[in-house]
Amino acid sequence: MDKRMHALNGGQFADSFSPFEPQPREDGSVHSKPKPIELPDIGLKDTHKLIQFLGRGGTGNTYEYKDLETGQAVAIKLIARPIPKVIMPNIFREIRIQAELGEGHVSIINAKEAILTESHLALVMECAHGGSLTNYVSDRVGRARETGLVLTEEEARFFFRQFLSAVEYCHARNVAHRDLKLDNTLLDGSDPPMIKLCDFGFAKNWQGEDNNMYTVIGTPVYMSPELIHSRNDTKGYDAQSVDVWAGGVLLIVMLVGRFPFDHLDHPNPQTYEAHMEIWQQQSRSRWAEIPHMKHAVERLSAECIDLLDKIFVTDEKKRITLQQIKEHPWVMRPQPPLYAKAEEKFVKEQARVEEFVGRRTLSLAAIRQRAEDLQQMVEAAGARPPEGGATMTVPIKRLNLTEESVVQPAEGEDSNNGLGGSPAAASFEPQAGGSFQQG
């Protein structure tokens, strides 16, 4: 197995795989049942029951819990205290943006609650039972040996259309994700599965028409050339366009199981050398002409290749837009009955969600207050827990992140009517007295 195929089997995506090792049976064989989960008392035992480990992330691990009050399964990301000051803005931004996007799109993980205990800051979210798109693709890498493609174009199109809809929703609310990838695309438990975007730790709002950003952020193999190169200039980059490039990487990996541009000679993705290795590949070669892609490209349709050619344009001003992608012949091609039926259900469910959210009137004052309360909670999570390892059996503080918490209570108050999930006009970065701002 070459390095690029290995990348989808625990190399590049290692953080998305369970840390549990297969356990030996008495006869010497192995099975994949995970070892029992053992966590210290983190202050949630009276409200939530631990079910299973879900995934490992840069700032914390995520687990499935059962909410003892509602009986529902939830995903809880546990961020250990004290939170380092350098990542406080990311934690605050992740929770705030995910809350402000609200329940307005079926393909975005909903944030439900933030809980502060003596040992952790916990982000309670909707639980997606189908795992990550990383795992889904990795489990099917063997198909490429037989058909040349990991997912068929029809199946990849099914996921990609949902992905486009979710990203379009974010962009319409002046939010750039900036870390779109298979790891951050979850699946529900349906058949065929529906996607759920998650992890908004690198996301950022823009104001008005200016969506130019400057911070070099993201996962290198998904980063566009102008994003990588912005560390060497002051021009910045178009935040929507970098999400488009990342979407193209996601699409080609679904199809062929390999990254078009990789940093195999510099395996640590955080280094300058890894970034420049990818940038040089992007600048010197058309994606389809890179040696490890040539054989895979032979299996793709002409329409699919044309779409990817338009996405992987190094000049961001000439790169295809999200709207143009939606109108591209490959994306608009009719689907087989299995996917057509699921997409019809998706469209109806999204219309139902939009109609429901559109009937609500959100209170801008309540949104401001929630953002200020969240900032205070994150700052408190930066304080070191008491000595001795003692933890509380009940949370110190709980903050409702659902839209119910910011619905207009009475007439006459400044409001955001029918927009659902708070667009940029209703997005707030509390600064007075605060220790950090959005980066």
Annotated catalytic, 179?
A: yes
pLDDT band at 187 (very low <50, low <70, confident <90, very high): very high
Supply the pLDDT for residue 23.
32
Q: Is the pLDDT of residue 167 over 70?
A: yes
Dig out the tokens for 25 from the structure.
Answer: 């049976």
- Taking Cα atoms as reference points, which of 301, 276, 275, 277 lies closest to residue 288? 301
CATH of 133-354 given 1.10.510.10, 3.40.190.150, 3.40.50.300, 1.10.10.10: 1.10.510.10
- Mean pLDDT over 140-157 rounds to 87
Confirm whether residue 77 is marked as ligand binding.
yes
| 8 A C-beta contact, residue 122 and residue 44 | yes
How far is it, in rounded angstroms, from Cα 390 to Cα 14? 32
The amino acid at residue 101 is L
Q: Is the pLDDT of residue 412 over 60?
A: no
pLDDT digits (tens, 9 = 90+) for 337-383: 999 999 999 999 999 999 988 888 888 899 999 999 999 999 999 98
- Mean pLDDT over 318-339 rounds to 98
Q: Say which of 15, 41, 179, 414 is annotated catalytic.
A: 179
How far is it, in rounded angstroms, from Cα 362 to Cα 86? 32
The amino acid at residue 333 is R
| 8 A C-beta contact, residue 133 and residue 195 | yes
Supply the pLDDT for residue 241.
97
Strand 48-56 and strand 61-67: the pairing is: antiparallel
pLDDT digits (tens, 9 = 90+) for 2-51: 444 434 543 333 333 222 233 333 333 333 444 556 677 888 988 999 99
Dig out the tokens for 345 from the structure.
Answer: 């259900």
pLDDT band at 385 (very low <50, low <70, confident <90, very high): low
pLDDT band at 137 (very low <50, low <70, confident <90, very high): very high
DSSP 104-158: --TTBPPEEEEEE-SSEEEEEEEPPTT-BHHHHHHTTTTHHHHHS-SS-HHHHHH
Q: Which of 142-151, 154-163, 402-411 has the lowest mean pLDDT?
A: 402-411
pLDDT digits (tens, 9 = 90+) for 72-131: 999 999 999 999 999 999 899 999 999 989 789 999 999 999 999 989 999 999 999 999
pLDDT digits (tens, 9 = 90+) for 265-310: 778 887 888 888 888 888 888 988 888 888 888 899 999 999 999 9
